[in-house]
Amino acid sequence: AQTVTQSQPEMSVQEAETVTLSCTYDTSESNYYLFWYKQPPSRQMILVIRQEAYKQQNATENRFSVNFQKAAKSFSLKISDSQLGDTAMYFCAFGAGTALIFGKGTTLSVSS
Amino acid sequence: NAGVTQTPKFRILKIGQSMTLQCTQDMNHNYMYWYRQDPGMGLKLIYYSVGAGITDKGEVPNGYNVSRSTTEDFPLRLELAAPSQTSVYFCASSYWDRGTYNEQFFGPGTRLTVL
């Protein structure tokens, strides 16, 4: 069975700084997808970024980028130039079959 | 497009009561899902559907039932509510095509408390 582990329950960062959230996963699948979702206090789940396992190039979306290390089964999220609106819970998720497997999340606080 | 809508947003139930959480999507997605999120935890899959008339259990299906009579609707039924079902419930949908894992779109969630 697949598992997703986020080892940082909470993190904090100052505005304009860079922060990296960690995620590791375990799977025997060779073809899969990885996602980072953001959940602000509004509770809405918002897709931040997605990575296909067969692509070696790391995905990037504006200030958000990932460091995907397939052999190490690691999928970290880097947020550059952090903004107050980035304050949220961030979930790493793994998809290879029907539904997503989520980690327990990391609460990120951005302060001014 | 409204995306994925859920009703109600909040609900308090007494132990033993029943209720249905409604979920509708207008994106013509074939796959729909129900997740629950307990405090400080990630989302866990309750049930999913790959199309109208087809449903299957997820990781935590006990105490719940679903049906999928149309592409758009995927209601979740709670029978004999228990305090352990106190949680936030999310409905999601996606278009699953062979070999491609597309983004899941989530509804705003329903906060359910069972007392």
Q: What is the pLDDT along chain A (112 residues), one digit of tens a residue?
A: 789 999 999 999 999 999 999 999 999 988 899 999 999 999 999 999 999 998 889 999 999 999 999 999 999 999 999 999 999 999 999 988 778 899 999 999 999 9
CATH classification at residue A100: 2.60.40.10
Parent domain of A9: 3-111
Report residue A84 as tokens: 């107050």
Nearest Cβ partner of A99 from B33, B40, B111? B33
Q: Is any Cβ of chain A less than 8 angstroms from the Cβ of B88?
A: yes
How is chain B split into domains, by residue range?
Answer: 4-114
Q: Which residues of B touch A100 (CB under 8 A)?
A: 43, 45, 104
Q: What is the pLDDT of residues B39-62, one digit of tens each?
A: 888 899 999 999 999 999 999 999
According to DSSP, the residues that pair with B90 across neighbouring strands are B35
Query: Is the domain defined by B4-114 classed in CATH 2.60.40.10?
Result: yes
Beta-carbon neighbour count of residue B10 at 10 Å? 10
User: Residue B96 above 90 pLDDT?
Assistant: no
Distance CA B49, CA B59 (A): 14
Split into its structural domains, chain A has a count of 1
**CB atoms inside a 10 Å sphere around CB B64:** 19
Q: Buried (b) or exposed (e) across B85-105, using 16+ Cβ within 10 A? A: bbbbbbbbbbebeeeebeebb
CA–CA gap between residue A43 and residue A3 (Å, rounded): 23
Best residue of B25, B36, B101 to probe chain A, by most A CBs closer than 10 Å: B101
Is B104 in the A-facing interface, judged by CB distances under 8 Å?
yes
Mutate one of B43, B44, B45, B94 to test the A interface: name it (highest A CB count within 10 A): B43
- CB proximity under 8 Å: B 57-76 to A: 58
The residue ranges of DSSP E strands in chain B, in sequence order, are: 4-7, 10-13, 19-25, 31-37, 43-51, 54-57, 64-66, 76-78, 87-94, 105-106, 110-114
Query: Above 70 in pLDDT, residue B99?
Result: no
Smallest Cα distance from B56 to chain A, Å: 10
